[in-house]
Amino acid sequence: MLLAQRRTLVRQALTTLPEGERAALVLRDLEGLSTEATARILGVRPVTIRSQAASARAKVQAFCARLIQAQGGRS
């Protein structure tokens, strides 16, 4: 899949996430901040960040897998 297509897919996936999960995923995984720093920025506890990021990761993976599968089925 082209990089541009991947970007679009990933951005779509991110928009399906609730705000808290999206923020935790972006700060933690994409910006590379620590759990503590992310928690401080978002004003929540680190345990909240961990669970929100984990939930976001699972959802993104499921979203992408579903779409790729659907595309693969069509082509």
Residues lying near another protein in the complex (CB under 8 A) are found at: 3, 6-7, 9-11, 28-30, 35, 50, 53-55, 57-58, 60-61, 64-65
Are the beta carbons of 64 and 9 closer than 8 angstroms?
yes
What are the distances in angstroms from CA 4 to CA 11, 51, 71?
A: 11, 30, 16
Q: Which one, 12 or 19, has the nearer CB to another protein? A: 12
Q: Which one, 23 or 60, has the nearer CB to another protein? A: 60
Output the smallest distance, CB 18 to another protein, in A.
15
> How far apart (Å, rounded) are the C-alpha atoms in residues 75 and 69?
10
Output the smallest distance, CB 63 to another protein, in A.
9
Q: Which one, 42 or 54, has the nearer CB to another protein? A: 54
Q: How many CB atoms lie within 10 A of CB 72?
A: 8
